[in-house]
C-alpha cells in the first residue's frame, strides 16, 4: 500500500518537473553566421563534406578588411588574400580553421572564390588567381585566371591545370556534373562586359568554351544546383542575387527581380546579399551568402568598416515555380551528415 502511494507521488513529481523545466533550446544559426577572426573579410564561400573528419569545411575568400589605407580608392586590401577555412558539424555553427594549404607553384599571392566539387573520393577546387597586388581596378596588367587543384582530404592540395577559357580575365568558377553527361563550368569573363559564360568537359581536364553568354546581365559568382525539379543558377548582380532556372542546365530563363536585394533588419545583415554557395541537403537548400558591413553602426565612426564582410545563412524555397528566400526567418535545422 505504502509503496503504491510513494510510487504515485514520485510519478507526479516527475511529471511536474517535466512541465516546469524549459525545453531544450533548438540549434539556431546566428547573425552573423561566421566572421573571419583575423581579417574580418570572409566572402565567396564553398562548402564541402570532409568524410574523414566527419565535418563540413567552408573555404572562402579571406579579404584583408581590417587593413586601413591612406587612399580610400586603394583596393590593395582585396588582394594578397589567402583562402580561409572554417569547420562545422552541423552547418549552423562554424569555427575558424586557418588557411588552406594551396601550393604557390600554380597560384600566387591573391586567391579568390574557391569552388569545390567532389567525386569518387577526389575533391576538385577551381580557384581564381590574380597575378599580384593591385591598388586600382581595371588596370591592363591586372588579369585573372582559373586554376584547378585536387585533394583527397580537403587539406593538402595538388596543382592540376590552368583552364584555357579564351580570356585573360576570368574569375569565379561554378561546376556541376551535367545531366547529359560530362561536366559543365560557368564563370565570369571581365573582358566581355562581365557576362557569365560556360564551358564543357568530358573529364574535368579539357574544357570547350561555348560561344554565347548565359544571360544578358553583368554578374559574378555563378552557383548552379538542382533543387525542386529544376536546375537553378544564382549569380551576384550587385543589385541582389539574380536567379535563373532550367530543365537541362543548358537553356535558361530569368526569374523577375532579384533575391536578397532588400537589406535585412537584423544587425550585420543590413545590406545586399552577395556571391553565395548553396548546399542541397536532405531535401532542403541552404544559401550561404556574404554581406558588407557598411550599414552597421560601427561604420559611422570608422570609414573603413565597409570593407568588412560576414557570412549569413538563409533557406531557399520554391514558390510558384521560382526561388524565394526570407532572410529574417531563423534557420534552426542544419546540414545532415551525408551517408
pLDDT one-digit tens code per residue, 199-244: 999 999 999 999 999 999 999 999 999 999 999 999 999 999 999 9
Please tell me the number of Cα atoms within 13 Å of 76 on its side-chain side. 9
pLDDT one-digit tens code per residue, 152-191: 999 999 999 999 999 999 999 999 999 999 999 999 999 9
* Per-position DSSP letters for 68-88, written without gaps between them: --SSTT--GGGSS--EEEEEE
Residue in 306, 318, 289 with CA at minimum distance from that of residue 228: 318
> In angstroms, how far is CA 261 from the centroid of its own chain?
17
C-alpha cell at 36: 573571419
C-alpha cell at 209: 568554351
In this prediction, residue 26 carries a pLDDT of 63
In this prediction, residue 27 carries a pLDDT of 84
Helices (H) and strands (E) in the chain, counts: 1, 20
Domain 29-325 sits in CATH at 2.115.10.20
Cβ neighbours of residue 100 closer than 8 Å, sequence gap 6 or more:
59, 82, 83, 84, 85, 114, 157
CA dihedral of 285, 290, 295, 297, whole degrees rounded to 10: 100
Which residues of the chain register pLDDT less than 70? 1-26
- Tell me which long-range contacts 60-64 makes (C-beta under 8 A, separation of at least 24): 60/36, 60/84, 60/85, 60/86, 60/114, 60/311, 61/111, 61/112, 61/113, 61/114, 62/36, 62/38, 62/99, 63/39, 63/307, 63/309, 64/39
In this prediction, residue 23 carries a pLDDT of 38
Length of the chain: 339
Residue 284 gets which letter from DSSP?
E
Sign of CA dihedral 182, 168, 113, 291: negative
Cβ neighbours of residue 25 closer than 8 Å, sequence gap 6 or more:
none
Q: What angle do CA 274, 191, 63 make, to 5 degrees?
A: 35
pTM: 0.92
Domain extents in the chain: 29-325
C-alpha cell at 4: 503504491
In this prediction, residue 14 carries a pLDDT of 44
Amino acid at each position: 500500500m505504502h509503496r503504491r502511494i510513494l510510487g504515485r507521488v514520485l510519478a507526479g513529481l516527475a511529471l511536474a518537473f517535466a512541465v516546469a523545466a524549459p525545453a531544450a533550446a533548438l540549434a539556431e544559426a546566428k547573425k552573423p553566421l561566421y566572421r573571419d577572426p583575423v581579417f574580418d573579410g570572409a566572402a565567396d564561400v564553398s562548402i564541402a563534406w570532409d568524410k574523414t573528419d566527419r565535418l563540413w569545411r567552408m573555404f572562402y575568400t579571406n579579404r584583408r578588411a581590417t587593413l586601413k589605407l591612406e587612399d580610400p580608392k586603394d583596393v590593395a586590401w582585396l588582394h594578397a588574400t589567402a583562402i580561409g577555412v572554417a569547420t562545422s558539424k552541423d552547418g549552423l555553427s562554424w569555427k575558424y580553421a586557418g588557411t588552406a594549404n594551396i601550393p604557390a607553384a600554380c597560384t600566387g599571392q591573391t586567391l579568390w572564390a574557391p569552388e569545390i566539387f567532389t567525386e569518387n573520393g577526389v575533391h576538385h577546387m577551381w580557384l581564381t588567381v590574380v597575378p599580384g597586388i593591385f591598388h586600382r581596378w581595371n588596370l591592363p596588367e591586372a588579369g585573372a585566371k582559373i586554376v584547378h587543384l585536387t585533394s583527397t582530404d580537403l587539406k593538402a592540395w595538388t596543382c592540376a591545370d590552368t583552364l584555357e577559357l579564351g580570356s585573360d580575365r576570368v574569375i569565379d568558377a561554378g561546376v556541376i556534373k551535367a545531366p547529359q553527361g560530362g561536366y559543365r563550368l560557368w564563370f565570369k569573363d571581365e573582358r566581355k562586359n562581365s557576362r557569365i559564360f560556360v564551358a564543357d568537359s568530358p573529364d574535368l581536364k579539357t574544357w570547350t568554351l561555348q560561344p554565347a553568354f548565359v544571360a544578358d546581365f553583368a554578374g559574378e559568382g555563378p552557383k548552379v544546383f538542382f533543387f525542386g525539379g529544376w536546375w537553378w543558377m544564382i549569380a551576384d548582380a550587385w543589385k541582389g542575387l539574380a536567379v535563373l532556372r532550367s530543365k537541362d542546365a543548358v537553356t535558361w530563363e530569368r526569374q523577375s527581380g532579384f533575391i536578397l536585394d532588400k537589406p535585412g533588419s537584423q544587425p550585420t545583415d543590413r545590406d545586399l546579399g552577395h556571391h553565395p554557395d548553396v548546399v542541397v541537403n536532405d531535401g532542403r537548400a541552404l544559401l550561404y551568402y556574404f554581406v558588407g558591413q557598411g550599414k552597421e553602426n560601427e561604420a559611422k565612426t570608422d570609414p573603413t568598416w565597409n570593407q568588412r564582410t560576414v557570412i549569413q545563412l538563409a533557406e531557399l524555397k520554391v514558390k510558384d515555380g521560382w526561388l524565394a528566400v526570407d532572410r529574417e526567418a531563423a534557420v534552426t535545422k542544419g546540414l545532415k551528415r551525408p551517408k
